[in-house]
Every structure is written in C-alpha cells, then in structure tokens.
Amino acid sequence: MPRRPREEHDGAIYHVFARGVNRVRIFVDDEDYRRYLGLLRATIEETKWNCLGCCLMPNHVHLLIETPQPNLGVGMQQLHGTYAQWFNERHKRVGHLFQDRYRAEPVADET
C-alpha cells in the first residue's frame, strides 16, 4: 500500500530530522559536512526556504526549515537524494544511506 502524502503548508516551520540506516555515519570527514552544507545551501536557494537552524551529527541531521511554499518534500528529496548518491560514490558503498524517509514535525511555538 502506498504511503499517504505528507501534509505541507506554506509559511510553516518544520523540525526535520533524518538518520543513517542502522545508525551508520552519514558524515565521515569534513568534506562530507561541506558537501552536505553546500547542497543544503543550493536547495534553500532553489526552494526559497528559510533555514532557521541546523545541526549535523555524525549519523543524523536536524534542520529547522520555514517553507514559504509547500515544497518541503521536493526539497528534501533533492537534498538527501543528491547527497546519498555522492556519498555512496565517494565512499565506495551501495544501498540506502538514510533510514526511512526524513521525519518532519511542524513547529507550533518556541517550546
């Protein structure tokens, strides 16, 4: 059975997070972090997101994203798909890099 589409809204703020499959490292060295940040920057420019914060950990990421248009899924597919392909080629690996789809929780207030 196909998954239900995510509910997205313009002007929404999301706490987005994703982790490596089997908790594997998704960043091995500084070049990996730089590449992800460069791809994030390009995605932000293309999607017109506002990135309110990010935290890159060795095996997972947290992003705080405001979406002026309801395009979170399109942007995340571009960002993580491109990064995973690059990472797998660079580190001579195959298969999924990220565990499941990213998760995105709407942020209603500062708490």
Residue 47 counted as domain residue: yes
The arithmetic mean of pLDDT across residues 46-63, rounded, is: 98
d(CA 100, CA 57): 17
pLDDT digits (tens, 9 = 90+) for 6-41: 889 899 999 999 999 999 999 999 999 999 999 999
Total structural domains in the chain?
Answer: 1
Residue 111 counted as domain residue: no
Residue 69 counted as domain residue: yes
| CATH number, domain with residue 26 | 3.30.70.1290
Q: Directed axis angle between helix 72-90 and helix 30-47, to 10°?
A: 150
Residue 7 counted as domain residue: no
Residue 2 counted as domain residue: no
Q: What is the pTM of this model?
A: 0.93
Range of the domain at 46: 18-106
